[in-house]
Homo-oligomer: A and B are copies of this chain.
Amino acid sequence: MMRTHYCGQLNETLADQEITLCGWVHRRRDHGGVIFLDIRDREGLAQVVFDPDREDTFALADRVRSEFVVKVRGKVRPRPAGAVNPNMASGAIEVLGYELEVLNQAETPPFPLDEYSDVGEETRLRYRFIDLRRPEMAAKLKLRSRITSSIRRYLDDNGFLDVETPILTRATPEGARDYLVPSRTHPGNFFALPQSPQLFKQLLMVAGFDRYYQIAKCFRDEDLRADRQPEFTQIDIETSFLDEQDIMGLTEGMIRGLFKEVLDVDLGDFPHMTFEEAQRRYGSDKPDLRNPLELVDVADQLTEVDFKVFSGPAKDPKGRVAALRVPSGAAMPRKQIDEYTKFVGIYGAKGLAYIKVNERAKGVEGLQSPIVKFIPEDNLNVILDRVGAVDGDIVFFGADQARIVSEALGALRIRLGHDLNLLTCEWAPLWVVDFPMFEENDDGSLSALHHPFTAPKCSPEELQANPGAALSRAYDMVLNGTELGGGSIRIHRREMQQVVFDILGISAEEQQEKFGFLLDALKYGAPPHGGLAFGLDRLVMLVTGAQSIREVIAFPKTQSAACVMTQAPGVVDAKALRELSIRLREQPKVE
């Protein structure tokens, strides 16, 4: 092996030892007649000193430039007292260089590695092989590798089998658009890249594999929002003969173990919260519990007020009126309130009523608000007591359809938490449970809230009688307001699966055509089973504190789903298209 040590491994215990390093010239300085090279490798930096005694080596050290690839032989020695660098793993020592070999030269890189902040992301992605040299980028991908390794070990130790499922498969009904792959051997037919291995993992349970996992690539051809990628990675888990408590316990243990191992953080036991409570108190199905603000329902106090904006939703069974108290928020300037009003507008709220609580002892006089005049003082007092308002607070109000109020105040709650630095802890995990089976579409039809294979908490007859009220056996793991993973107990009986398909308006013919193999599988002895999938990219992002999902993927795509480094996607020759029995609808644009 060329090297004896990684740069970052050098320390005082190696003093006087001869070592060999291989790496990149991170920095080069002349100082006091000697040359200093900071050599960089995966594990860190080491300072090598070349003095003029060794003439040839010194001359070569004088000629090397940033990012040259070098091999250095030398002797470790303690740095002089004043020169110790506590910010560097090897900062207590330096290497006196005996021999220097240039393994490869380098042109000046397109951007410097230490002042990258001004470099546009497109340039960094184009030269990703240079961008990944930056220690903070490399650290994220190293941590990603440690995370997957920790997760695999946990699952291996708990009897899970790692089974690969196909990438060339059939369109699955996750709802997003599939990436399609034309088949050469079956002209006019297409494979789809999987949006998840959902049905395959259920079939593995039917096959008796009992505990399955896979760190699986999944694909969605959707317009990319800030934090989406066309291909993403899922920690995919399925088990048989376990109920939701067992599965939550097992996977909670996995995440708790991971945080302990890589961050030395103890997440403790995760609280469980129903979907209904999460919506009611936090206006979200993935509440960030680091944030102490809560929504409080006040409709009962406002049904009779002479102010339709409140009384309308208060009386409507599908309406909601909720308050959000912000401690010490009364000093908030008008301009700020206007900005929040605009912000909740994004979520459909038509306004943002508020009460500034200046001095409660003074009654209505002590309140500053455009709306108090509409509300009888008794009701006002009940409301203020209920939200726990004290002098100096501001209380915001939302009144509209329940969905709009929850979304708008839920988003405002998050925004206020960040704007006002209200977060009370670093990590706040929880389980959200008892989701509804279905959500209503605008046309009154029903969609599955999770996916159509999720088991309900009731019998097929009860489900059929009142699908809108049915709860599912689904569970989501939420951390700091991000959904880390979600899963459910699945339907394992054919009749129940058909009832759900019927409710979703899938015709018997379509059921057979799209899901015939699943219905078959449920017919031949399917065990009770359920599982979960974690978004690995998101998990790594949280653990590493990355700002974007692109920072934790080695070679990510841009917002337009392209790779600027390899120039993918690219043009394909006519022969290839002919072999696939397809033609272009329009000529590709010449770039």
Contacts and interface: CB of A to CB of B under 8 A. Distances in A.
Contact of A168 (B184, B557, B565): B557
A319 B168 CA distance: 45
B128 A184 contact: no
Contacts of A526: 69, 104
Contacts of A145: 161-163
Contacts of A520: 127
A180 B581 CA distance: 12
A105 to B, nearest CB: 7
B183 A561 contact: yes
Closest 3 CB pairs of A and B: A188-B588, A106-B525, A132-B207
Contacts of A553: 164
Contact of A167 (B71, B209, B219): B219
A81 interface: no
A141 B525 CA distance: 20
Interface in A512-546: 516-517, 520-521, 523-528
Interface in A549-585: 553-555, 557, 560-563, 565-572, 576, 578-585
Interface of A: 1-3, 22-24, 40-42, 67-69, 71, 103-107, 109-110, 127-133, 138, 141-142, 144-145, 148-149, 152, 156, 161-171, 177-193, 199-200, 203-204, 206-211, 217, 219, 221, 223, 230-231, 233, 240-243, 246, 492-493, 516-517, 520-521, 523-528, 553-555, 557, 560-563, 565-572, 576, 578-589
A124 B563 CA distance: 41
A177 B152 CA distance: 34
Given A69-B526, A161-B145, A241-B22, A219 B168 contact: yes
Contacts of A185: 223, 560-562
Contacts of A199: 566
Contact of A209 (B141, B208, B527): B141
B163 A208 contact: no
Contacts of A516: 567
Given A145-B163, A209-B132, A171 B42 contact: no
